[in-house]
Structure 1
Amino acid sequence: MNEPHAGAAVITGATGGIGRWIALGLAASGYRLFIVGRDPARLGRARDWIAGRVPESRDRLITVQADLSLLAETAAAAAAIRAQAPSVGLLVNNAGTLQSRRVLTAEGHERTLAVNHLSPLVLTHALLPALLAQGGGARVVSVGSSTSDGAGIDPADLELAAGWRMTRAYARSKLALLMTQMTLAERLDPAQVAVNVVHPGMVATGLVREPGMVGLAWRLMAPFILSEREGADTPLHAALSPECAGLSGAYLKRRRPVPPNRRAVDPSLRAQVWTASRALAAPYLQPQD
C-alpha cells in the first residue's frame, strides 16, 4: 500500500484512455492533482469521474485548459500551475496522438512531434523549478511506446518533412521523447528529481480517433489487448512505488527497467537530438547549458 501524498501532481492526457486511470490512482494517493487538457467539457467530466470514485479528492482536483499541440499554451499551463503550486512532487507526461496524415500546428510544428515530444519537453522544463522546490523525491514519468524500440531518427529532420508516414512519425516522436528525457535524467540529481519513461503495453485506448480503415483496425484489435485500467499499471508503478524511488534514466515495461533502442544510449546522437529538440522549442524554454 502506498503512503498518501500531500503534495501536488500534474498529469496531461487524463480526460480518457489510460490517463484517466492514472489520474484516478494519483487522486486516491492523496495528491492535489492538476489535470491538463484541451476540452473544458472533457476536463469537467474527467474531474467528476475521478471524484465519483474518490469523493475525498474533489477539492484537490484542478483542471487546466491547454491545447498541448501548441507550445505557447503548454508553457502558459505550466505558469498557471506554478502560480498555484510553487512545489510539485510529480509530473506525468501522458498526452499523446497518432495522426493519419501530416498536419502542421498553428505554430508550424508537425503535430505528432509537437504533442508527443515537444510539449512534454516544454512542460517538464517549465515545471522543473517547482519539481526542484519539492526538496527531494520528485518524479517525472513520461509515457513512451515500444514503437520507439526499432525506430530510427534524424536530428536534422525531427519533424519528418521528408518521408512522413503515420507509424514512422509516431515511433520517432516517442524515441525523441525517450532520448531527451534520458538526457534530462543525466543532468539532474536523482535524489532531487527522478526522470523515467514507461511503455504501458499495447492498450485499447482512444489514441486513434481517425475514421476509415485505420480507426476500424484499431477498434477490431481492442478485445485482444490491455484495457485502459491495465495500461495504467506501469505508469502508476513508476509514479508511486517506493521501489522506483531514486530510479532515474530508466525505460520501464511491465514495471521493470529494460534496454531501450540502442540509439537512445548513443551519447553523440542523443546530444544531437537534445540540441535539435531544444532549437524547435526554443521560444518556450529557459536557457540551459
Structure 2
Amino acid sequence: MNIDLSSRHAVVTGSTAGIGLAIATGLAAAGAHVVVTGRTQARVDEAIATIAAQVPGAKLTGVAGDLGTREGAEKLIAQVADTDILVNNLGIFEPKGFFDIDDDEWQRFFDVNVLSGVRLSRHYAQGMAKRGWGRIQFISSESGVQIPAEMVHYGVTKTAQLGVSRGLAETLAGTGVTVNAILPGPTLSEGVGEFFGKIAAEKGISLEQVEKDFIADHRPTSLIKRLATVDEVASLSVYLASEQASATTGAAVRVDGGVVRSIV
C-alpha cells in the first residue's frame, strides 16, 4: 500500500516526543507538510531536527505553546489557520490513588487531555467540511475502556475522548471528513520510559524487568506480552490519515496488543 499525503497539511499536537513525534515523523515520511507542536520552542526545534534527520526533505513547521489552554490554542490557530489532518495527541498521565486526586488535578487532566482536542477540532473541522476532505484523530487509550485503578482521572479523560470523537463523526456525516479515535495499549513512549526508569533505579532492576513485571501485574491480558512501540501506534495513525481509510470513521481503533478482551 502506497500512502501519499504530499498534498496534505497536518497538525500533530504534543509532537515533540513519544507517540506524537512518531506520528509526525510517519506523516512527514508519507509526504505531508507537518506542523510540530510543543510547550517550548527548544523542544519544537529539537523535534523538527529529529524528524528532518530521519526524513530527508521533510516539510516541517513548528509552533510552540501550551495547547492545554485557550490561549495556546488561539496561538496555534492564528499561525496555522487551516489543516487537512488534525491529530489530537496531546495528553498527560500520572499514577495516583483516587482519594489523592483533588479538584485542581481533575481539571488539569480534563483541560489537557480533552479540551485541547475539542478546541482545535471545533476550529479545524469547519474548514475541512467546507473543502470536502479531512482527517481528525483523537489519541485515546485502552484505559478509556478499562479504567485503571491507579489513575482513574486519566482513564476518565480517555473515555471522554471516545465520546467526543464519535459525536464529532456524527456531526460531520457526509462531509468527507473522517473522525476516529486510536486506542494504544501500554506503549514505550518517552514518558513511560522515564517512569519505568525511576522504578528500575528504585528497585535496582533492569528496564526490561520493569516492563515484564508491569505487563504481568497490571496488563496480564496483553497478547503480545510487551509494550508496543511508538512506531507501531504511528503506523495506524498514518493509515487513518490516508485516502485509503476513507470508509473508516466514527471508530475506536485499537492498537493495544490485545489487552482489551473483546472481539469488537
Give the direction of change, closer, same or farther, for the CA distance of 1:168–1:30 in structure 2 (3 Å limit): same
**Matched residue, 2:123:** 126
TM superposition shift of 1:130: 2.8
Change (3 A) 1:183 1:4: closer
| Matched letter for residue 239 of structure 1 | A
Select the residue among 141, 145, 152 that pairs with 1:145.
141
Q: Deviations over 1:232-274 (max 9, x none)?
A: 22222222260x213211010149xxx9x9xxxxxxxxxxxxx
1:148/1:62 Cα in 2 relative to 1: closer, same or farther (>3 Å)? same
- The residue type paired with residue 145 of structure 1 is S
Give the C-alpha shift of residue 33 in structure 1.
1.1
The question of 1:94 aligning with 2:84 is answered: no
| Contact 1:103-1:111 at 8 Å conserved across structures | no
**What letter is aligned with 1:13?**
G
Contact 2:3 2:239 in 1 (8 A): no
Q: 2:121 corresponds to which letter in structure 1? A: T
User: What CA RMSD, in Å, does the superposition of the two structures yield over aligned residues?
Assistant: 3.1
Residues 144 and 156, structure 2, Cα contact 8 Å, conserved in 1: yes
Unaligned runs of 5+ in 1: 153-164, 262-289
Helix, strand or coil: the match of 1:139? Answer: strand
Could you tell me which residue of structure 2 aligns to residue 111 of structure 1? 108
Separation in 2, partners of 1:24, 1:36:
13
Measured in 2, the distance between the counterparts of 1:122 and 1:81 equals: 14
Alignment of 1:239-278 (within 5 A): 239-240=241-242, 242=244, 244-254=245-255
Q: Which residue is equivalent to 2:219?
A: none
* Deviating more after overlay: 48-57 vs 65-74: 65-74
| Cα distance, 1:216–1:246 mapped onto 2, change above 3 Å | farther
1:195 aligned to which of 165, 173, 179: 179
Once the two structures are TM-superposed, the CA of residue 173 in structure 1 deviates from its matched residue by: 0.1
Contact 1:14 1:35 in 2 (8 A): yes
Separation in structure 2 between the aligned mates of residue 99 and residue 115 of structure 1, nearest angstrom: 13
Residues 63-105 of structure 1 show CA distances to partners (whole Å, capped at 9, x for unaligned) of: 11111221221232123210xxx4x211011111003464777
Could you tell me which of 161, 164, 178 is aligned with 1:177?
161
Q: TM-score scaled to structure 1, two decimals?
A: 0.72
1:145-177 deviations in Å (ceiling 9; x for gaps): 11111349xxxxxxxxxxxx7611000000111
- Cα separation, 2, equivalents of 1:69 and 1:254: 25
Which runs of no fewer than 5 residues in structure 2 stay unpaired?
213-224
Count of residue pairs the alignment pairs up: 236
Matched residue, 2:189: 205
Write the distance in 1 (CA, Å) between the matches of 2:201 and 2:19: 18
CA apart distance, 1:204: 0.7
The DSSP-based 3-state class of the residue aligned with 2:181 is strand
Distance 2:61 2:80 in 1: 9
| 4+ residue runs over 3 A deviation | 100-105, 207-217
State how far apart, in whole Å, the 2-side matches of 1:33 and 1:40 are.
16
The amino acid that maps onto 1:168 is V
Q: Distance in 1 between matches of 2:178 and 2:201?
A: 36
How has the CA–CA distance of structure 1 residues 167 and 100 changed in structure 2, closer, same or farther, with 3 Å as cutoff? closer
- In the alignment, is the contact (CA less than 8 A) between 2:136 and 2:179 conserved in 1? yes
Separation in 1, partners of 2:66, 2:14: 10
